[in-house]
Amino acid sequence: MNEKAREELAKYRQLRDEVSELSEKLANLHKDQMACKKGCSECCMNFQILPVEYFAILDELRKNPPAQYRELDDEAEECNFLIDDLCQIYASRPFICRTHGLPLLYMNQGAMPGSYRLVR
């Protein structure tokens, strides 16, 4: 990995930490309404990640392989890192896994500029 790639991964990891911190605060604020809990994996399927997330996960897997893993299966609906309803790459999980279930506000791409859509 070259120096530029290392710098970009470092920026991504810093952003990932900030997203995690904000997600934890948001989850705490809404803990009475949150259905997410350890052992629930209903959301661990059918999602996409950013290229930088892919390279970060790959880099972290090389340095710290999970205790358990299964062969990658492109046809599987369930995430390949899910084993016995537990995430095997929890520290490396992508943004979508860190923010799923939270009440988030997204820019609505199909609407007028400045309009927003509340998700969950």
**Between the CA of residue 26 and those of 10, 22, 57, 63, what are the distances in Å?**
24, 6, 25, 31
How far apart (Å, rounded) are the C-alpha atoms in residues 97 and 79?
11
- Report in angstroms how near the CB of residue 28 gets to ligand SF4 at its nearest: 19
User: Which residue, 108 or 120, is less far from ligand SF4 as judged by CB?
Assistant: 120
The CB-of-114 to ligand SF4 minimum distance in angstroms stands at: 32
Shorter beta-carbon distance to ligand SF4: residue 56 or 79: 79
Closer to ligand SF4 by CB, 22 or 45: give it: 45
- Retrieve residue 31's tokens: 């803990």
Q: What is the dihedral sign for C-alpha 43, 46, 52, 54?
A: positive
Binding residues vs ligand SF4 (CB under 6 A): 41, 44, 79, 81-82, 87, 89, 93, 97
Beta carbon of residue 40, minimum distance to ligand SF4 (angstroms, whole number): 10
How far, in Å, CA of 120 to CA of 117, rounded?
10
Q: Choose between 9 and 82: whose C-beta lies nearer to ligand SF4.
A: 82
